[in-house]
Amino acid sequence: MHAPKPRVISRQIDRFLSDPASVRNATVLTITVTILVVIIGSVVIWLFGGKNYPDFETAVWFTLQTITTVGYGDVTPDTGFGRLVAGVVMIVAIGFTTIVTALITSTFVDAAQRQRRADEDARRREEADHILARIADMTDRLASIEARLEGLGASRPKRDS
């Protein structure tokens, strides 16, 4: 039997699955997972990382510098399990950096596409307005020609055959 997912994670996953293309949903899910990795990684590294983590604060410091890829090296795990946890945190950090970069790029691309579509729509509206103005002008000219023809026909004597 599976343990129930915490509500926060469950809500974020459900929201992401309903609209995965949403930058907001992807950002919230990424931040949620990253925060969870920092917290869980910090607890695990504090408990099993070795003598270099005498308190939770040091474990959080190590996890934060690892997940941000800063890696000062002032504290490092000295057990195999601690290194495994640090490796998982590093992989999540790489994924986090990649996703954040992709989200920012996607935001810029979406904005450029929206601007291009707006410009294209404005150009098409301008073209349509120009065509409608020309049609209205031709309609007026045609009405004028018809009126003249009717005037010519009325002033011309009728022939008897």
What pLDDT is recorded for position 70? Answer: 81
Where do the domains of the chain lie, and which CATH numbers do they carry? 7-116 (1.10.287.70)
Q: Cα separation of 16 and 143, whole Å?
A: 61
Which residues of the chain fall below pLDDT 70?
1-6, 12, 15-23, 156-161
What pLDDT is recorded for position 1? Answer: 46
Map 15-49 to HEC letters. HHHHCCCCHHHHHHHHHHHHHHHHHHHHHHHHHHC
What pLDDT is recorded for position 99? Answer: 80
What pLDDT is recorded for position 33? Answer: 83
**How confident is the model over 72-113, as pLDDT tens digits?**
788 888 888 888 888 888 888 888 888 878 877 887 888 889
Q: Cα separation of 68 and 91, whole Å?
A: 11
Q: Cα separation of 123 and 128, whole Å?
A: 9
Helix 56-67, helix 80-155: angle, nearest 10: 40
What pLDDT is recorded for position 106? Answer: 80
Q: Cα separation of 127 and 141, whole Å?
A: 21
